[in-house]
Structure 1
Amino acid sequence: MMLLLPSLLCALAGYVSAFLVETATLTDLYPPLWKDCPSQFSDYKVEDGVYTIDPWLYPERMGMYKILITFTAKYFERFGPNNEENILWGLPLQHGWQFKSGRLTDPTNVTDCGRKNGDHMCISVNSWWACMNYNLCVLPFLGAIEAGALGISSDQVTLLPPPKDQMHFCYDVTTCRSSFPDAMTKWNTFFQQAKNLSKTLDDLLSDLWIAHVATLKATKNIFRNRIQYYSKPELDFEKSWTTAMDYVAAMCFETTLTKTYKFQMALPPRLLNSGDQPFLIKDFTDSQNRLLYLLNLLYETDDNSGHKFLHLFKNVMKSKILRKIAKFAMEQVILNYDIILQELISKI
């Protein structure tokens, strides 16, 4: 297992080997419809000083991320200009990829929610991806409000419920703290630490990933029934993606704008269909096929070891030096345009 660790680490880094792209401005990297989404609380409906947000509409949910990114810019300006080094960018970029790849649509096909020829901006409560993302939007957003990072009080925001399964979601600071106390506490801690100018980017990344993993842990069992709506390849991807987050978190992957954007270029650009197999999906790029293969490999390794491999990986990644080496290895693979799939498989 120890011999497998460095090979798997470098192999997992291989999914970003084709990521370096030329971009005119940072705005080219922003999520879909970013400029059209709310950027301040006054862009939402307000009554008696309470802002009402519908997180089941893509622009309104993305607007929550946009406010989060905008209001926390001052905490990350010491790390780089133009808010590019804000490590919260990973959240809206992930949501934007879900929207663009069709993963927020109704997988039951009962409604036209999320479909281009239907209610395109709708986010379906039947979507596993949409429901998992809900808490990765709402909890950091409300956690930031609770921590005093967004300039309003905890009783000034309420969220509208979905058309069904309302009991599975929380809608304001009070109900979210009651339903997800551990995750809310960890998000509150992250934003409190972000205010501390003595904290390094590595310190804040650690706190961010702790909160992220706590949110997924509290959420994943609630929406397990949603997986029945997907093809086996998409289901396998969902399971392997969730597992991979534990490993990415252990590495303290830098979720800045540029690095997250480059990473996401290797994500599947559409829902996977029955018959889709890594290496053989013709409308996917080499890096997208490679990522699916590596994620499946990581999932199988983790599962077959009874999660002992994850425990080992976490112990290794406790070393700041080894984390730096791991990140350096990833950067080297990113710059290596000559790496090919067959060589990657051979190394594994």
Structure 2
Amino acid sequence: MYPWDYRDRLSMYKLILNYSAKYFTQFGINNTGNEFWALTIFYGILYQTRRYNDPSNYLVNGRPQKESFISVKSGWSGINYYVIVPFFLAALKSNFFGPLSYPMELLQQEELRSDFCYSFEECNASYPQVMAGTLKIFEYLQAREKTSNNSENPTYNTDMEKITHYIWSRHQNGIDAGKPLFYDNSQFYSTDEKHFAEGFLTTVEFLEAANYPSDMKNSTIVLSTFPHRKLTIGDWFILGWNFNISEKVLLIITKIISGINNISGGAFFNIWKKIMMSESARKNAQFLVKIIFLLPKLIPSDN
């Protein structure tokens, strides 16, 4: 597989979704209750909003970028790389996909080669915490026992709270590994896009601490409000005129949460994490998030 092609990287998500489906049968029909959906949906959104393009130049070797091309120079694609690739490599390592008719390996991109790892061993050498956490997810799922023997749709004793926590924790590990790539390439983005990216990643940490469900339905509630284009100068402070109401709500929330957290030197997030140690507090936070992001969708918009 070539992880710098949209279709190949999407195949990694699809394999994980398909092979993990049986562990989420009881949580939603047609695999909609799968907690890996948030990663997959956001991947598609970043592609649709052209955030995987080379921010310094839309040309590659003098030609327009291919539709399926993912640039190694995009900070967004670099961060996403460390979100999905460790998952995929750990799944292979743990034999999560079962016997394969042919071996799978990642084809390397020579440009900025030292910024990326392409095998489990290479990633483990550079990011042992990331790989250990990812292996833990697939080992947990493979250890699940059947709670029904329905031949067509057997169910397993998957603890939704626990697997959601595992996935979010590993997701954050991947972001921490990929963030330096965003900083390295940040000069190619507008100041407002940089502010938004930093703020959004901070906001995601608050959602993770609340163990917000990452299945298809709940992920769509939040991620469908993601700005349809990269921010340009002025968008972060006055909110671009062609952003719809839902997009503006996300931008406002991102500004408030990241702003308070920055002013407090991170104390706001530490307090939030302590509050979220309570199950009832997590449930209330999850409900509040849904209300905040669903209400704007009920308001008519001309955009």
Q: TM-score, normalised by structure 2?
A: 0.88
**How far apart, in 2, do the equivalents of 1:106 and 1:122 lie?**
9
AA at the equivalent of 2:244: T
Report the equivalent of 2:231.
Answer: 272
Aligned ranges 1:224-263 → 2 under 5 Å = 224-263=183-222
CA RMSD, 1 decimal: 2.2
Judge conservation of contact 2:75–2:185 (CA < 8 Å) in 1.
yes
Gaps of 5+ in 2: 145-155
Return the offset for 1:112.
Answer: 4.5
Return the offset for 1:222.
Answer: 4.2
3-state SS, counterpart of residue 271 of structure 1: coil
Judge conservation of contact 2:222–2:293 (CA < 8 Å) in 1.
no
Return the offset for 1:265.
Answer: 1.7
Return the offset for 1:328.
Answer: 2.0
Report the equivalent of 1:77.
Answer: 25
Judge conservation of contact 2:246–2:297 (CA < 8 Å) in 1.
no
3-state SS, counterpart of residue 87 of structure 1: coil
What are the superposed Cα offsets for residues 255-295 of structure 1, whole Å, 9 maximum, x if unpaired? 11122122222110011111224554221101101211211
Is residue 88 of structure 2 the alignment partner of residue 129 of structure 1?
Answer: no
**How far apart, in 1, do the equivalents of 2:161 and 2:2 lie?**
34
Aligned ranges 1:180-329 → 2 under 5 Å = 180-195=127-142, 196=144, 197-277=156-236, 280-329=239-288
**How far apart, in 2, do the equivalents of 1:223 and 1:271 lie?**
14
Which deviates the most, 88-97 or 160-169?
160-169
Choose from 148, 171, 190 the match for 2:118. Answer: 171
**How far apart, in 2, do the equivalents of 1:214 and 1:56 lie?**
21
**How far apart, in 2, do the equivalents of 1:338 and 1:285 lie?**
9
What are the superposed Cα offsets for residues 29-84 of structure 1, whole Å, 9 maximum, x if unpaired? xxxxxxxxxxxxxxxxxxxxxxxx10111011111111111111111112222100
**How far apart, in 1, do the equivalents of 2:248 and 2:294 lie?**
19
Q: Runs of at least 4 residues of structure 1 off by over 6 A? A: none
Return the offset for 1:105.
Answer: 0.6
Report the equivalent of 1:161.
Answer: 108
**How far apart, in 1, do the equivalents of 2:297 and 2:108 lie?**
49
Report the equivalent of 2:147.
Answer: none
AA at the equivalent of 1:321: S
AA at the equivalent of 2:130: A
Choose from 21, 39, 63 the match for 2:11. Answer: 63
Return the offset for 1:200.
Answer: 1.5
**How far apart, in 1, do the equivalents of 2:276 and 2:169 lie?**
14
- Gap change, CA 1:319 and 1:313, over 3 Å in 2: same
AA at the equivalent of 2:113: Q
Judge conservation of contact 1:88–1:256 (CA < 8 Å) in 2.
yes
Judge conservation of contact 2:81–2:178 (CA < 8 Å) in 1.
no
AA at the equivalent of 2:234: G
Gaps of 5+ in 1: 1-52, 341-348
Return the offset for 1:210.
Answer: 1.2
- Gap change, CA 1:252 and 1:223, over 3 Å in 2: same
3-state SS, counterpart of residue 125 of structure 1: coil
Judge conservation of contact 1:279–1:286 (CA < 8 Å) in 2.
no
**How far apart, in 1, do the equivalents of 2:298 and 2:23 lie?**
38
- Gap change, CA 1:336 and 1:132, over 3 Å in 2: closer
Q: Percent identity?
A: 28
Judge conservation of contact 1:205–1:252 (CA < 8 Å) in 2.
yes
- Gap change, CA 1:186 and 1:118, over 3 Å in 2: closer
Choose from 95, 111, 130 the match for 2:59. Answer: 111
Higher relative CO (Cα under 8 Å, sequence separation at least 6) belongs to 1
AA at the equivalent of 2:47: F
AA at the equivalent of 2:115: H
Is residue 107 of structure 2 the alignment partner of residue 148 of structure 1?
Answer: no
3-state SS, counterpart of residue 150 of structure 1: coil
AA at the equivalent of 2:240: I
3-state SS, counterpart of residue 217 of structure 1: helix
**How many equivalent residue pairs?**
285
